Amino acid sequence: MTTSASIAEAGSADERPPFRVAPEAISVLESLWHAGHGAYLVGGGVRDSYLGLQVVDWDVATDARPEQILAIFPGSTYKNRFGTVLAQGLEITTFRRDHRYADHRRPERVTFSEDVYEDLARRDLTINAIAWGRRGPDSKPRELDPADGRGDLEDRLVRAVGAPERRFDEDALRLLRAIRIAARLDFTIEPITYAAMTEHARDISWVSEERVATEVRRMLAGPTPSRAFHMLLETGILAATLPELAALADQPETATTSSTATRLDHALATLDSARITAPGQERLALAALLHPLGVDLAGTVLERLRVSGRDSDAILRIIETLPADYRPDWSDANVRRDMRRVGADLLDDLLLLRQAHVDASSDAAAAALDDELRARIHAQRAAAAPLTLGELAVDGRDVRDTLGLPESPAIGRILDRLLEDVIADPSLNQRMTLLTRANLILDEQTLRVAGTARPSGIR
């Protein structure tokens, strides 16, 4: 059979994969087959496609060596130092063989293999070790599933390939991958695999903080992220990675009436609610998860999770303002001060988190108060009550010119006072009114400065 004939055949019905595939993925396979190589779709793409989920990344495994892959795909580049090549948006990896792992981590070098079965055997989970492709241009495409990943997909099970004890001992990152994938798919971790994970929980400390951070943050993006954290807690992995959070599992939740709930349960319920009210918003998910820790401990955890300084500041500001201590006798000015506390840029996030917080709580009275505060905040918003210096009817230049003052910090202080006044009474936000008040404030400050400047004893 000629090479070109076999490529043409790849399009015929019986030679197409039994799951939906992106055309780019097929075209990459065809290029590799055409060049005489064996090449297969494998990994998360096959798994997710079988489950009817949207596939973002297709992984291709081949017997072609990295430099051969580069030659076949003009413009392709190395994705990492292990020889994975990025071509036409896909990750192409040369078959590998497992070898001894030092330190419970991914080895510093890889050994290439010619054998697709060896490559499938080194993969972490049975559902990630299903391959579809062909050995070369002259063979028929077919599915290879030596670990019965199809069976586990059917039974909705996450199971290690081979002996679980050994697989987690080799590479402790697999502990987090298994939990992330099980939580995302709502699969059960098969009992022997789960027992091995519990046994090896402490090995997670061999994995770099950065890689742990990446996995944990991906868990937050799942549909019901609490599932992942319950497994992390139960296996002992949470205590080894985020001990501050694990400690919350020993503290009863006092704000709710349910007697067995812990503060971690409350954090996780808030996290799941935030995932529903604000899907895809990592900042809110983190604020929801970490809010019971308070600002200082939450800051420590955010640093460990490698959250940027900017996001971290925002998250801590939201956590700080989450408890409103609201009472129905609050004046509207009090409501506006609460809005100002978090800042206009984060007010929406704060409201979403408060909503999630209420949804997660079984305290009906607190929920009613929170609903009322939210309604009052929305009313203030609708009335466009000014809350920032930028919304004042005057700016620094106006104040300077009117008062005949040089540029100085005093101007900023006067503007801050004007804003306080306007937050207390928005009807003051008129140019002439504010400039008149600026004059009064200046007089007051001058008097105060003059007063303190007088030698003591003379009144």
Binding interface with ligand ATP (CB under 6 A): 43-44, 57, 59, 123-124, 128-129, 171, 173-174, 177
209 touches Mg ion by CB under 5 A: no
> For residues 57 and 114, which CB has a smaller minimum distance to ligand ATP in the complex?
57
> For residues 181 and 314, which CB has a smaller minimum distance to Mg ion in the complex?
181
For 410, list phi and psi in degrees, rounded to 5. -60, -35
- Least Å from the CB of residue 59 to ligand ATP: 5
Three-state secondary structure call for residue 121: helix
- Least Å from the CB of residue 234 to ligand ATP: 21
Q: 7, 16, 44, 206: which one contacts Mg ion (CB under 5 A)?
A: 44
- Least Å from the CB of residue 44 to Mg ion: 4
Residues 130-169 interacting with Mg ion (rule: CB under 5 A): none
Question: In degrees to the nearest 10, what's the CA dihedral of 94, 95, 99, 101?
Answer: 60
Pick one of ligand ATP, Mg ion, none as the site partner of residue 338 (Cβ within 5 to 8 A by kind).
Answer: none
Residues 50-109 interacting with Mg ion (rule: CB under 5 A): 57
Dihedral sign computed on CA atoms, order 263, 264, 270, 274: positive
Rounded to whole angstroms, the Cα distance separating 30 from 451 reads 87
Pick one of ligand ATP, Mg ion, none as the site partner of residue 164 (Cβ within 5 to 8 A by kind).
Answer: none
Pick one of Mg ion, ligand ATP, none as the site partner of residue 171 (Cβ within 5 to 8 A by kind).
Answer: ligand ATP
Question: How many Cβ atoms sit within 10 Å of the Cβ of residue 212?
Answer: 23
Asked whether 271 and 233 are in contact (CB, 8 A), the reply is: no
Q: How many CA atoms lie within 13 A of 9 on its CB side?
A: 17
Look up residue 314 and give its two tokens. Answer: 């925002």
- Least Å from the CB of residue 187 to ligand ATP: 13
Pick one of ligand ATP, Mg ion, none as the site partner of residue 128 (Cβ within 5 to 8 A by kind).
Answer: ligand ATP
* Partners of 91 in the β-ladder: 59, 86
Question: How many Cβ atoms sit within 10 Å of the Cβ of residue 390?
Answer: 9
> For residues 167 and 317, which CB has a smaller minimum distance to ligand ATP in the complex?
167
User: Quick one: which segment of 41-49, 79-87, 133-141, 247-255 binds Mg ion (CB under 5 A)?
Assistant: 41-49
Q: How many CA atoms lie within 13 A of 459 on its CB side?
A: 1
Which amino acid belongs to residue 209?
Answer: E
> For residues 171 and 349, which CB has a smaller minimum distance to ligand ATP in the complex?
171
> For residues 131 and 342, which CB has a smaller minimum distance to ligand ATP in the complex?
131
- Least Å from the CB of residue 42 to ligand ATP: 6
> For residues 57 and 209, which CB has a smaller minimum distance to ligand ATP in the complex?
57
Please give the residue whose beta carbon sits closest to ligand ATP in the complex.
Answer: 44
> For residues 132 and 326, which CB has a smaller minimum distance to ligand ATP in the complex?
132
Name all contacts of 343-351 with Cβ < 8 Å and 24+ positions apart: 343/317, 344/387, 344/388, 345/314, 346/314, 346/317, 346/318, 346/321, 347/377, 349/278, 349/281, 349/283, 349/284, 349/287, 349/314, 349/318, 350/318, 350/321, 350/322, 351/377
Instruction: List interacting residues with Mg ion (CB under 5 A).
Output: 44, 57
